[in-house]
Amino acid sequence: MSAGHHRYVATNRRVREDRRFVAGKGQFVADIDLPNMKHVALVTCPYAAARIKSIDKKAALATPGVHYVLDGAELAAATLPLMTGLDTPNVPRRPLAFEVARYSGEWVAAVVADTRALAEDAAEAIEIDYEPLPFVLDAEQAIAPGASLVHEPHGSNVLLDKTFVWGEVDKDFATSPHKLSLRVKWARSSTVPIETFGVVASWDPWSDILDVYASIQMPRYTDQIGAALKIAGSSVRVHYDVDVGGSYGVKRGIKHTVLCGYLARRLGFPVRLIEDRLENMRGGDAHGPERLFDIEVAFDNDGIVRSMKMRALENVGAYAGRSPFQLGKPIGAIVGPYKIRSVQYRAMAVVTNKTTQEAVRGFGQAPTNLAIERVMDEVANVLGLDPLEVRRRNLIRSDEFPYQIPSGTTYDSGNYETVIAKVLADTSYDELKKERDRLRAEGNLAGIGIAACLEPSGGNATFEALLNPANTTSTFMDSCRINVDGLGAITATMHTTSSGQGHETLVGTVIGEVLQLDPDIIRVTRPDSLNSLPSGTPVASRMAIMLGGAAFHAAHKLKMKLTTIAAHDLGIPMERAVYERGEVYDRNAPDKRRSWMDLVAIAHRNYHRMPQDFEPGLAVEHIYQVPTGGTLPTKDGRVQMYPCFSFEFHLLLLAIDPDLGVPEILRYRLGHDCGTQINPKIVRGMTLGGIAHGIGAAFYEEFAYNDDGQLIAQTFMDYLLPSSQEVPAVDIIDHETPSPHTVLGQKGSGESGYLGAPAAIANAVNDALRPLGVSINTLPLKISKLGDLIAEAQAKKG
Amino acid sequence: MKAAPFRYFRAADIDEACALLAADEGARVIAGGQTLVPMMVMRLARPTRLIDINRIAALSYIRKDANGIAIGATTRQCLVERDALVATELPLLARAIPFIGHNATRARGTIGGSLANADPAAELSLIAITLDATLSYRAGGKTSHIPARDFFVGPMTTSLPAGACLTGVCFPVWLGKIGVGFHEVNARRSDFAFVSAAAQVEFGPDGKCKRIAIGVGAATDFPMRLETAEQQLKGTALDERTVGAALREALSDFEPLSDLHASAEYRRRAADKLAARAIADACAHAQGKKTHAH
Amino acid sequence: MRIELEVNSVTYALDVEERTTLLDCLRDALGLKGAHAGCEHGVCGACTVLLDGVAVRSCLIFAPQAEGSAITTIEGLSPSPGELSPIQDAFCETHGMQCGYCTPAMILVAYALLADNPSPTREEIVEAISGNICRCTGYAQIVEAIALAAERIRGANRPLELRK
């Protein structure tokens, strides 16, 4: 419960997974070679929208080494459409386009050949007759009258249009002296891991099992594979010991998996699809949010924001994916860390003829934070107040927790003023302002950017029920199993893949903490899905809380079992039995003790010495429910969403070359509070990585399309990822306000840095441009855009 | 992304390379491969045969000759980067080379490969144009020479005849009190430049500009010299105002490219600013002072 | 096409298609999976190997071109099975990775850097790894790993040697 003194938790232990990675012995999906395995290459649609009139496979099939060509019609006849969370039966999504292709790059046919190179050769030989169709790319155009329909049977381009009103919004607006509206655009970018998505599927007709090895980060993966292929979940064996080369949300790969699963069953040999970078960028369906915010706030003369109206318009792409739900999750922190008392929120998800999106780090929180933080800065600007002062006046105070926000979620704990104070003790705000002013005096544009925002963590699927009342899910569990074998060795299992978060280390550390044993002696393995307990997988910044919680409770059960066995064997009541570092002794007579090996022997071999009706052996498990979960939304759309809320405060100084528009971050400080840090090195690494992601989204990254609906940023030459040169040194100042809901006081940190960096950077850029009387509210803040904006403003000033 | 099939040949000398080129219309030479291989794996280039010239020792050299510093076509960019002769005799080239790609691409990429590829944003093309380099190529057993200004004719297009292979480039050396400046602007440090500018200045004993060469790259289909500005600035002190006016005039009918990364307007302004900075750097360099930070 | 490649001081006789990249050859023909494909067009650097001690992108070299050069992959860096070299150990100490995908490449780049420059400044380390993209770490703990490795190697008895 508290961040008290720990033996192993909160110490800088090595991350055990690192050992295999530095040796090049990670097991990534492309490293897996199965006998007789064949390779897939995709044929993609070149048009933004087109009817598929005919597919001529003859030349491809005649190519040596080619085994099969699969088209959308065959796949549609044999499988069910992929699951979507919304109730939109007329917007089916399939691995291969069926009758109509709806974005440039959509997969239309799959070639199976002896090698990837041969599959690509054959893919070129496939002749497809397309009839180009009208298309729409912009979300606002897609909802305007007369727009071409991406899915004719659906009747419109709107997948979701839901408005929530929490509190007395109209009254608060009417009674506030000031109002301010702003339009903020988060351009289409994504997490773009260096490893693309890949899957190997192999069907054994003798045991009726489909083996799946994939670079996967996805809840309900086995469910969705089984559903689409029309086989039982118990016929799907996903191997969780595949190392995933980065995901940060996007590696859902369900269409790739259904495609390969079908081919493996159909063809009788293992089938492998490793996306190449072009397939990934255009048709991997791993794009991130493209969101337009229209936000309006009502505030008083002191800068206290009383009410907020927000319309979030999301350009989902051609099919639903997880995108619409990224409009729902931010509801759980819709007012950020502020005491805004009423909110109107309109969530609109719209289809266009662009690549489908997938879940991206933060699940919509980062774009929402950008909108809120830009508005807070503009409130300060309008009133002539310091932006940090405006934050202070609006922030929830530490004595106000637990704090319930208008949309029904209660924030567990926080101490925002202390985090900010710590940052400012490290870096004087006044000194920073002086430095900014000095840079300005030298002829530069310079600005200070701040952002204060929350990381909802722990996961809970209730945003699904908010956006689709037919979905009544009120849990998002995780699990851990521990077995001590006949010779006393401890093995714990976790039941999902990981993509660099150090979960094996997490489990070992937590179990070691509870059992008071060196975590390094605790083996942590990942069984496959048929040997696993349920897991929500590493999404939603949940694993420290949920896997940590499951491991903690399982370890505690084991400790209790050991203590009970010892007490019984020592002939003492439980209250006198003391567990210490794997041994149990009589408090009144410490020499009377049972060692670890004694207890193992009793449990495994000497049943006659066991307490009555006890199970033999030393095996325990725990399946952990989301703390504060278990409820569904009320009729007016209020619900407890996530259990825990971490806090981050960004403070940076930025200069812009006025002639060239080139921005440079000169100083970056982050105050970070995620409660107890189970492994500080892991947390620091994730936060710094999140900031780098945020820098990419703020300055460099965009999936840009031309007017013909072609993705023009399809390689790494045009989609620009930050290198070591683009990420400045960042100082992180930690604070720990434990969560009352979690076993060790830990909160999540998987999204830290990314959630606030784009907002802080956007605020810094706007502060830098303020003397010119211009502002910019569209990401990415590209050099050319900044340069043009500055030049225009200077020309006006004469 | 796997290349389309091709036959691989390793040429022992330049004439064998040319013969192999001549024998097949779809043949292409490969040196460093840093640009050709990406195009091949994306199937934008589909040579039927690839002629590897990396082993032709006679094409890898850096030496002084009567006309300046001659560099062989297959000389690795990293060798030029570290070469003492280049540092003293061709300071503008030395200044520009670290901007080409990354260490790993300069380890394989060659001088000739970059020039023959003729990317509008290539630093080497800009330096070749700015210094009036002469390129040499071999075809059908004969060596020919062509000035840089006649070599680059369009984006990714040179006047190299079919079946010819670039063999080297010669950069004239300026004597006297020299200064150089090089600037580029790009999204990330080692990206293709949006705009680049190179300047080399020679000062006379009177402290005035005796000679100046100014080149602007990445903004048009191939790098260009600002010849009117060069003429105007000869004999001046290269003060900020005079330079500014000369550049403004030289760029007045400038029609730069517009693309995903930068608007034409941006390139127009940046060309002006970068050229001015390059000239200022060249002046400071000639006088032994510190130059503008990048 | 028959070629001979020297990888980690062992010479292999292989039969590969001319168009096979060095990356694919190492991974598929030799089972050396430590070099990774990230983009296959020479930008991300995850495919980095050392060619005669110099860090290069193996996705941009066709296998036949690598004949006659000494190739070093990450597998060639561990002194013995289960044992970590100083650079590998430093990466573990600072947690200079998360998913591990870019890690072998980063370590090889570090190796080449420290063989050439045993006392790099922070700027020099940043520059050396600037051709390798990491999406997980934001680079800080990688830079710290390389600085730590440099410090340890400087203080050790044996200089950093590359098997040539």
In a domain, A309, yes or no: no
Say whether both A531 and A490 belong to one domain. Answer: yes
Distance from CA of C32 to the nearest CA of A (A): 9
Last residue of a domain, one of A229, A248, A274: A274
Name the one residue in this structure whose structure tokens are 């063999």.
Answer: B167
Kindly state the average pLDDT of the residues A630-659.
95
Exposure string of A115-141, with b = 16+ CB inside 10 Å and e = fewer, is: bbbbbbbbbbbbebebeebebbbbbee
Residue B294 pLDDT: 46
User: Which residues in chain B have Cβ-Cβ distances shorter than 8 Å to C128?
Assistant: 103
Last residue of a domain, one of C54, C74, C94: C74
Q: Mind listing the pLDDT tens digit for each residue in B178-235? A: 999 999 999 998 889 999 999 999 999 999 999 999 999 999 999 999 999 999 999 9
The mean predicted confidence, pLDDT, of chain B is 95
In a domain, A486, yes or no: yes
Say whether both A647 and A726 belong to one domain. Answer: yes
In a domain, C79, yes or no: no
Exposure string of A743-756, with b = 16+ CB inside 10 Å and e = fewer, is: bbbbbbbbbbbbbb
Q: Token digits for A212?
A: 């799946």
Q: Mind listing the pLDDT tens digit for each residue in B143-153? A: 999 999 999 99
Put simply, the answer to whether B41 touches C64 (Cβ < 8 Å) is no
The Cα–Cα gap between B131 and B201 comes to 11
Neighbours of chain B (3+ CB pairs under 8 A): A, C
Residue B190 pLDDT: 81
- Please answer whether residues B234 and B259 qualify as being in contact, where contact means their C-beta atoms are separated by less than 8 angstroms: no
Report the run of H or E that residue B184 belongs to, with start and end.
strand B177-185
The Cα–Cα gap between A676 and A191 comes to 27
Structural domains of chain A, count: 3
Q: Which residue of B has its CA nearest to A727?
A: B188
Range of the domain at C34: 2-74
Q: Token digits for B115?
A: 């020039």
Kindly state the average pLDDT of the residues A31-43.
98
The Cα–Cα gap between C162 and C111 comes to 9
Say whether both C152 and C113 belong to one domain. Answer: yes
Say how many CA atoms lie within 13 Å of A68 toward its Cβ.
20
**Interchain CB contact of A447 with C (< 8 Å):** no
Put simply, the answer to whether A787 touches B266 (Cβ < 8 Å) is yes
Tell whether the model's pLDDT for residue A563 goes beyond 70: yes
Last residue of a domain, one of A274, A308, A327: A274
For residue B260, CA distances in Å to A139, B108, B154 come to 20, 28, 20
Spell out the long-range contacts of B188-191 with Cβ–Cβ below 8 A and sequence spacing 24 or more. B188/A700, B188/A720, B188/A722, B188/A723, B188/A725, B188/A726, B189/A723, B189/A725, B189/A726, B189/C130, B190/A723, B190/A725, B190/B99, B190/B101, B190/B102, B190/C130, B190/C131, B191/A720
Residue A5 pLDDT: 85
**Interchain CB contact of A727 with C (< 8 Å):** yes
- Please answer whether residues A378 and A182 qualify as being in contact, where contact means their C-beta atoms are separated by less than 8 angstroms: yes
Say whether both C137 and C109 belong to one domain. Answer: yes
User: Which residues in chain A have Cβ-Cβ distances shorter than 8 Å to B190?
Assistant: 723, 725
Kindly state the average pLDDT of the residues A408-426.
97
Q: Name the residue among A116, A277, A723 with its Cβ closest to that of B2.
A: A116
Distance from CA of B286 to the nearest CA of C (A): 27
**What single-letter DSSP state applies at residue A30?**
G
Q: Mind listing the pLDDT tens digit for each residue in A371-404? A: 999 999 999 999 999 999 999 999 999 999 999 9
In a domain, C162, yes or no: no
**Interchain CB contact of C79 with A (< 8 Å):** no
Residue C157 pLDDT: 76
Say whether both A787 and A734 belong to one domain. Answer: yes
Say whether both C104 and C69 belong to one domain. Answer: no
Put simply, the answer to whether C95 touches A727 (Cβ < 8 Å) is no
Residue B290 pLDDT: 65
Put simply, the answer to whether A784 touches B188 (Cβ < 8 Å) is no
Structural domains of chain C, count: 2
Put simply, the answer to whether C35 touches A24 (Cβ < 8 Å) is yes
Residue B167 pLDDT: 98
In a domain, A232, yes or no: yes
For residue C87, CA distances in Å to A78, A725, B126, C92, C146 come to 52, 22, 40, 9, 7
Distance from CA of A727 to the nearest CA of C (A): 7
Last residue of a domain, one of C20, C39, C74: C74
User: Which residues in chain A have Cβ-Cβ distances shorter than 8 Å to C33?
Assistant: 24-25, 28, 30-31
Confidence class for position C163, pLDDT limits 50, 70, 90: very low
Say whether both C116 and C149 belong to one domain. Answer: yes
C-interface mutation test, from A189, A724, A752, most C Cβ less than 10 A away = A724
**Interchain CB contact of C43 with A (< 8 Å):** yes
Neighbours of chain C (3+ CB pairs under 8 A): A, B
Nearest partner of A340 among A164, A162, A163, A169, judged by Cα: A169
Say whether both C37 and C100 belong to one domain. Answer: no
User: Which residues in chain C have Cβ-Cβ distances shorter than 8 Å to A691?
Assistant: 138
Confidence class for position A2, pLDDT limits 50, 70, 90: very low
Say whether both C92 and C146 belong to one domain. Answer: yes
Strand order in the sheet with A577-580: A577-580, A583-586, A589-594
- Between residues 778 and 797 of chain A, which touch chain B (CB distance below 8 Å)? 782-784, 787-788, 791
Q: Name the residue among C92, C126, C142 with its Cβ closest to that of A19.
A: C92
- Please answer whether residues B222 and B122 qualify as being in contact, where contact means their C-beta atoms are separated by less than 8 angstroms: no
Put simply, the answer to whether A248 touches C135 (Cβ < 8 Å) is yes
**Angle formed by the axes of helices A757-769 and A680-695, nearest 10°:** 40
Say whether both C70 and C96 belong to one domain. Answer: no
Tell whether the model's pLDDT for residue B289 goes beyond 90: no
Last residue of a domain, one of A255, A274, A293: A274
Kindly state the average pLDDT of the residues A516-537.
97
Tell whether the model's pLDDT for residue B293 goes beyond 90: no
In a domain, A636, yes or no: no
In a domain, C164, yes or no: no
- Between residues 84 and 123 of chain C, which touch chain A (CB distance below 8 Å)? 84, 88-89, 91-95, 97-104, 107
Say whether both A703 and A769 belong to one domain. Answer: yes
Residue A636 pLDDT: 85
A-interface mutation test, from C16, C18, C39, C122, most A Cβ less than 10 A away = C39
Say how many CA atoms lie within 13 Å of C4 toward its Cβ.
4
Say whether both A647 and A793 belong to one domain. Answer: yes
Say whether both A559 and A592 belong to one domain. Answer: yes
Say whether both A382 and A443 belong to one domain. Answer: yes
Kindly state the average pLDDT of the residues A76-85.
94
Strands A589-594 and B142-147: unpaired
Cis peptide before A780 (omega within 30 of 0): yes
Q: Write the CATH number for A601.
A: 3.30.365.10
Q: Above pLDDT 90, what percent of chain B?
A: 94
Q: Token digits for B105?
A: 């691409």
Q: Which residue of A has its CA nearest to C141?
A: A685
Distance from CA of A237 to the nearest CA of B (A): 29
Within A167-304, strands assigned E span 178-186, 198-204, 209-214, 236-238, 271-274, 291-299
Confidence class for position C162, pLDDT limits 50, 70, 90: low
Q: Mind listing the pLDDT tens digit for each residue in B12-42? A: 999 999 999 999 999 999 999 999 999 999 9
Q: Write the CATH number for C96.
A: 1.10.150.120
Tell whether the model's pLDDT for residue A488 goes beyond 70: yes
In a domain, A360, yes or no: no
A294 φ, ψ (degrees, to nearest 5): -115, 115
Burial label for A635, CB within 10 Å (0-12, 13-18, 19+), is: exposed
- Between residues 47 and 66 of chain C, which touch chain A (CB distance below 8 Å)? none
Q: Which residue of B has its CA nearest to A713?
A: B260
Tell whether the model's pLDDT for residue C164 goes beyond 70: no
Tell whether the model's pLDDT for residue B292 goes beyond 90: no
Say whether both A123 and A211 belong to one domain. Answer: yes
Residue B291 pLDDT: 65
The Cα–Cα gap between A584 and A592 comes to 9
Tell whether the model's pLDDT for residue C114 goes beyond 80: yes
In a domain, A471, yes or no: no
Distance from CA of A123 to the nearest CA of B (A): 12
**Interchain CB contact of A21 with C (< 8 Å):** yes
Say whether both C70 and C125 belong to one domain. Answer: no
Put simply, the answer to whether B34 touches C19 (Cβ < 8 Å) is no
The mean predicted confidence, pLDDT, of chain A is 97
Q: Which residue of A has its CA nearest to C81?
A: A23
Tell whether the model's pLDDT for residue C16 goes beyond 80: yes
In a domain, C37, yes or no: yes
User: Which residues in chain C have Cβ-Cβ distances shorter than 8 Å to A191?
Assistant: 135
Tell whether the model's pLDDT for residue A3 goes beyond 50: no
Strands B165-171 and B68-72: antiparallel
In a domain, C161, yes or no: no
Put simply, the answer to whether C19 touches B3 (Cβ < 8 Å) is yes
Confidence class for position A84, pLDDT limits 50, 70, 90: confident
Say whether both C69 and C6 belong to one domain. Answer: yes
Residue C21 pLDDT: 98
Residue A797 pLDDT: 81
Secondary structure (3-state) at B68: strand
In a domain, C109, yes or no: yes
User: Which residues in chain B have Cβ-Cβ distances shorter than 8 Å to A278?
Assistant: 1, 42
The Cα–Cα gap between B246 and A639 comes to 67
Say whether both A772 and A685 belong to one domain. Answer: yes
In a domain, A700, yes or no: yes
Tell whether the model's pLDDT for residue A471 goes beyond 70: yes
Q: Write the CATH number for A230.
A: 3.90.1170.50
Name the one residue in this structure whose structure tokens are 């508290």.
Answer: A2
Put simply, the answer to whether A660 touches B270 (Cβ < 8 Å) is yes
- Between residues 45 and 104 of chain C, which touch chain B (CB distance below 8 Å)? 45, 48, 51, 54-57, 59-62, 64-65, 68
**Interchain CB contact of A382 with B (< 8 Å):** no
The Cα–Cα gap between A53 and A73 comes to 11
Residue A455 pLDDT: 97
Tell me if ipTM is over 0.90: yes
Last residue of a domain, one of C74, C94, C109: C74
In a domain, C91, yes or no: yes
Say whether both A493 and A525 belong to one domain. Answer: yes
A546 φ, ψ (degrees, to nearest 5): -85, -45
Distance from CA of B35 to the nearest CA of C (A): 9
Nearest partner of A720 among C123, B270, B192, B221, judged by Cα: B192
C-alpha distance across the termini of chain C, in Å: 25
Distance from CA of C23 to the nearest CA of B (A): 11
Q: Mind listing the pLDDT tens digit for each residue in A8-36? A: 999 999 999 999 999 999 999 999 999 99
In a domain, A747, yes or no: yes
Q: Which residue of C has its CA nearest to A248?
A: C136
Say whether both C129 and C97 belong to one domain. Answer: yes
Range of the domain at A379: 375-459+642-797
Say whether both A785 and A701 belong to one domain. Answer: yes
Residue C161 pLDDT: 65
Q: Above pLDDT 90, what percent of chain A?
A: 96
In a domain, C81, yes or no: no
Q: Above pLDDT 70, what percent of chain A?
A: 99
User: Which residues in chain B have Cβ-Cβ distances shorter than 8 Å to C40?
Assistant: 1, 41
Tell whether the model's pLDDT for residue C160 goes beyond 80: no
User: Which residues in chain B have Cβ-Cβ distances shorter than 8 Å to A120?
Assistant: 1-2, 43
Residue A1 pLDDT: 38
Say whether both A676 and A752 belong to one domain. Answer: yes
The Cα–Cα gap between C142 and C128 comes to 11
Neighbours of chain A (3+ CB pairs under 8 A): B, C
Say whether both C99 and C39 belong to one domain. Answer: no
**Interchain CB contact of A725 with B (< 8 Å):** yes
A26 φ, ψ (degrees, to nearest 5): -65, 155
